[in-house]
Structure 1
Amino acid sequence: MTKDGQRAPKDGRRKSKERHRAPQHGQRPRADGGPHRHTAVAARRSRDDAYRAGFVCFVGRPNAGKSTLTNAIVGQKIAITSNKPQTTRHVIRGILHKPDAQLVLVDTPGLHRPRTLLGTRLNDLVKEVWSEVDVLGVCFPADEPVGPGDRFIAAELAALKATVIAVVTKVDLVDPATLAQHLLAVGELHDFAEIVPVSAVSGHQVDRLTDVMIGYLPESPQLYPDDMLTDEPEHVLIGELIREAALEGVRDELPHSIAVLVEEIIPEDGLTKIYADVYVERDSQKAIVIGARGSRLRDVGTQARAEIEKLIGTRVYLDLHVRVAKEWQRDPRQLRRLGF
């Protein structure tokens, strides 16, 4: 997907059943160089004006603000957000272009104690991404105390070679005294290269965080074209926007039981036809998603269509059906079919 929402033209009808795969991070070798020195980023950049490019991964427990921060830095919605944990299910990459750098942001699912086969696979995916990036930004929400989940993640960081930065998110939700105490608690978890408090909602220190992360990237040629904001397949982004709309209003009843499979995307003159299925695990959940006389499903279609039109830049005809895939989160065959 490019900056202006345009796609490469494709003729006729195309299927959209490719599996969602963990991305392969570029074709360049990893930066080596041994242990990272905790040198001030400004000093590094003043001595060295070479072009930098690389991969940064935001990690943290579920609902730590990773997706909201990714969208704020890229400047466009590429990852869905929710006030419920474990909303992100795929590795989504957003690309920030600067005159002297290219920052590839990797948004991952939150690391959590898995209760299903899906949860186990998501945790494995997160750890695989950790081993491949140049910088890790560990997100700690300022409005929640440091807890066992944060300490578990901090312990997992010890063996990694990447530079590790602490990002204290949601600082707009706390007073200065609470923030100061939280920063001290975060600093005791790990020997972080930097600790940066930010608010993705207000934009507070988002630019500073970007500069800090770029300062730790390796010297590298540009990895992606100037006009690319994400390398995610179009059907993945569309499916995520539909899932976000489907979650609206039903997060308390079935926050983790909804999956979306985009079956067909048909581009026509000034109109894109999209056919997608919304999957739940039980018949009772199907009734919740559809709503009385189809009212909730119509709302899902209206909300999703508006977001998809912003994404692809054309009018959209969206055809949605709700289907039951029993216990799909625990069924390897169903998980493969749904792209996990």
Structure 2
Amino acid sequence: MSKQKITRCGTIAIVGRPNVGKSTLLNYLVGSKISITSKKAQTTRYQLLGIQTIDDTQFLFIDTPGFQLKHLNLMNKGLNKIVHQVLSDVDVVLFVIESRGMTEEDHAVMKLIPKDRPTILVMNKVDLMKDKNALLEQIKTMSETYTFKAMVPVSAKKNKHLDHLLSNVRDFLPEQPFIYGEDEITDKSERFLASEIIREKIFRLTGQEVPYSIAVEIEKFEVEGKLRRIFAAIIVDKDSQKPMLIGKDGEKLKQISSESRQDMEELFGGTVWLETWVKVKSGWSTDQRVLKSLGL
């Protein structure tokens, strides 16, 4: 009688203030781009599960929105609520900061983490640290301030030291069967991923005023073999924002659509026919009914 293989499987929350590289870290840990990224803070709006299965271990990473201490409108309060909910029900916490050290916002986020939750400090963007002695000094300071199960300097963008990070995480995952198939990378649908890809392109290709007031609604998603026909409405808060997204002669919207389609084809492994347009829904980001319909 063959001995049953012992497997580990558990949930890992990725938390931190806005713009420390949480989504980039998730994408590299999973090995596929499932979470959108940009240099603008508050890009992530949803609780997103990324799955990585290596040998006898299944890592279930939960990407969370950056915890917002300012501008607490209805949407941002909802995003903060997601962070609280995730932290109360995971096996391990990855607390992500920039390698140059903790800010006041970082300390505020750290206070949210339950003291009984195994927490690993992830010092990201280590490739930007020219003075390695300064990094060692930061590690010493962190160890004197907080009790972490491990402190791992990484560069998510350069894929540095992520194997070491996974090894540390594995030690705290419970012994139990895998929850997902070994080839699965997320629990989100293609429809959801398509809307997020479009939203990322808007963040990357437009100015500061537009992104925080937009949402993307997939109105129709059709699959025929390897062909996907996707119809997406970009929702803005004001009439004045519409031309910013469309651009002169529609060039900006064409660029958003073209770059989105390319990313979708790479992720979905097939041809994508994408149609996008812009709709105005005044006050959508403070309307509970609209937020609920968009899954926020």
Place the TM-score, normalised by the shorter chain, in its bin: over 0.9
Residue 167 (structure 1) aligned with residue 111 (structure 2): no
In structure 1, what residue type is equivalent to 2:90?
Answer: V
Q: Residue 233 of structure 1 corresponds to which residue in structure 2?
A: 189
Aligned partners of 1:339, 1:77: CA distance in 2, in Å?
21
Q: CA deviation at 1:274?
A: 0.3
Q: After TM superposition, what 4+ stretches of structure 1 lie above 4 angstroms from structure 2? A: none
Distance 2:164 2:149 in 1: 14
- Under a length normalisation based on structure 2, what TM-score does the superposition of the two structures give? 0.94
Moved more, 179-188 or 329-338: 179-188
How many residue pairs get aligned? The number is 290
CA distance in 1, matches of 2:18, 2:221: 31
Paired with 2:124 and 2:226, the residues of 1 have a C-alpha distance of: 40
Distance (whole Å) between structure 1 residues aligned to residue 265 and residue 77 of structure 2:
34
1:313 paired residue number? 269
Structure 1, unaligned runs of 5 or more: 1-48
SS for the counterpart of 1:339 is coil
Unmatched runs of 5 consecutive residues or more in structure 2: none
Conserved 8 A contact 2:40-2:203:
no
User: What SS does the corresponding residue of 2:40 show, helix, strand or coil?
Assistant: coil
For CA contacts below 8 A with separation 6 or more, give which structure has more relative contact order: 1
Q: Tell me, what secondary structure is at the counterpart of 1:177?
A: helix
Match for residue 81 of structure 2? 124
Equivalent residues in 2 for 1:255-270 (5 A)?
255-270=211-226
Structure 1 CA distance for aligned equivalents of residues 76 and 226 of structure 2: 40
**Letter in structure 2 aligned against 1:339:** G
Instruction: Please provide the CA RMSD for this pair.
Output: 1.4
What does residue 200 of structure 1 align with?
156
Change (3 A) 1:188 1:327: farther
- Deviations 1:297-329 (CA, angstroms, capped at 9, x unpaired): 000000000011111111111010111111221
Partner residue of 1:335 out of 267, 270, 291: 291
Determine the structure 1 residue equivalent to 2:165.
209
For 1:57, the equivalent position in structure 2 comes to 13
The answer (yes or no) to whether the contact 2:74–2:285 under 8 Å persists in 1 is yes
1:247 matched residue in structure 2: 203
State yes or no: 1:139 paired with 2:139: no
**Residue 125 of structure 2 aligns to which amino acid in structure 1?**
K
* Alpha-carbon offset, residue 171 of structure 1: 0.4
Q: Is the 8 A contact 1:116 1:330 kept in 2?
A: yes
Structure 2 vs 1, CA of residues 168 and 83 (structure 1 numbering), >3 Å: closer, same or farther? same
Return the offset for 1:335: 0.9
Q: Do the aligned residues in 1 keep the contact of 2:84 with 2:112 (CA within 8 Å)?
A: no
User: 1:253 Cα shift?
Assistant: 2.7
Task: Give the whole-Å Cα distance in 2 for the aligned partners of 1:238 and 1:186.
Answer: 39
Instruction: Check 1:239–1:99 CA distance in 2 against 1; reply closer, same or farther (3 A cut).
Output: same
Q: Residue type of the partner of 1:122?
A: L
Q: Report SS of the residue matched to 2:219.
A: strand
Contact 1:70 1:105 in 2 (8 A): yes
The secondary structure found in structure 1 opposite 2:213 is coil
Cα distance in 2 between the residues matched to 1:207 and 1:324: 45
| Percent pairwise identity | 37
**Is the Cα–Cα contact under 8 Å of residues 146 and 185 in structure 1 kept in the other structure?**
no
Deviation at 1:189, TM superposition (A): 3.9
What TM-score results when the alignment is normalised by the length of structure 1?
A: 0.82
Letter in 1 for 2:46: H
Q: Which residue of 1 aligns with 2:27?
A: 71
Q: 1:91 to 1:184 in 2, by over 3 A?
A: same
**Post-superposition CA distance 1:140-188 (Å, at most 9, x none):** 1124x4221111112222x343211110001001121332233233334
Q: SS of 2:156's equivalent?
A: coil
